[in-house]
Amino acid sequence: MGDVGELIKNYWPLVAALGTLSGIGTFAWLSNRFATKVDVKKLEDKVADIEKAVASAPSKDDWHEMDKRLERVATQNEAIMHSLKGIENRLGILYENELRQEK
């Protein structure tokens, strides 16, 4: 038993140093392997922001309704443009008649 006591007495600084180094190594490995609380909080905030944005985005039905409305507006615009062309042609004829009468 005296040999074990003497062995510990002689080599305790080496055992303590190896224990400290293994603790530091384990801590370094764990800190690189897992996220910190700050990183997790940042990710939680980003996910919450994304969830809010997705929740406020139009649904598939909303997009479909908007598409149908845009088609109606385009059709109405085409009809208005066609009517304006007719009015423009009539005005052109009226101006020509007015110019002929002045001569």
Q: What was the pLDDT predicted at 52?
A: 94
**What's the number of domains the chain is made of?**
2
Please indicate, yes or no, whether residues 49 and 64 belong to a single structural domain of this protein.
no
**What does the CA dihedral 21, 23, 29, 32 come to, rounded to 10 degrees?**
-110
Please indicate, yes or no, whether residues 74 and 38 belong to a single structural domain of this protein.
no
Question: Which structural domain range is residue 21 located in?
Answer: 1-57
Q: What was the pLDDT predicted at 63?
A: 92
Please indicate, yes or no, whether residues 63 and 47 belong to a single structural domain of this protein.
no
Please indicate, yes or no, whether residues 63 and 88 belong to a single structural domain of this protein.
yes
Q: Write down the pTM of the prediction.
A: 0.43
Q: What was the pLDDT predicted at 6?
A: 82
Low-confidence ranges of the chain (pLDDT < 70): 1-2, 103
Please indicate, yes or no, whether residues 71 and 53 belong to a single structural domain of this protein.
no
Last residue of a domain, one of 19, 42, 57: 57
With contact defined as beta carbons under 8 Å apart, do 42 and 50 qualify? no
Q: What was the pLDDT predicted at 1?
A: 53
Give the model confidence (pLDDT) of 65-90 as tens digits. Answer: 999 999 999 999 999 999 999 999 99
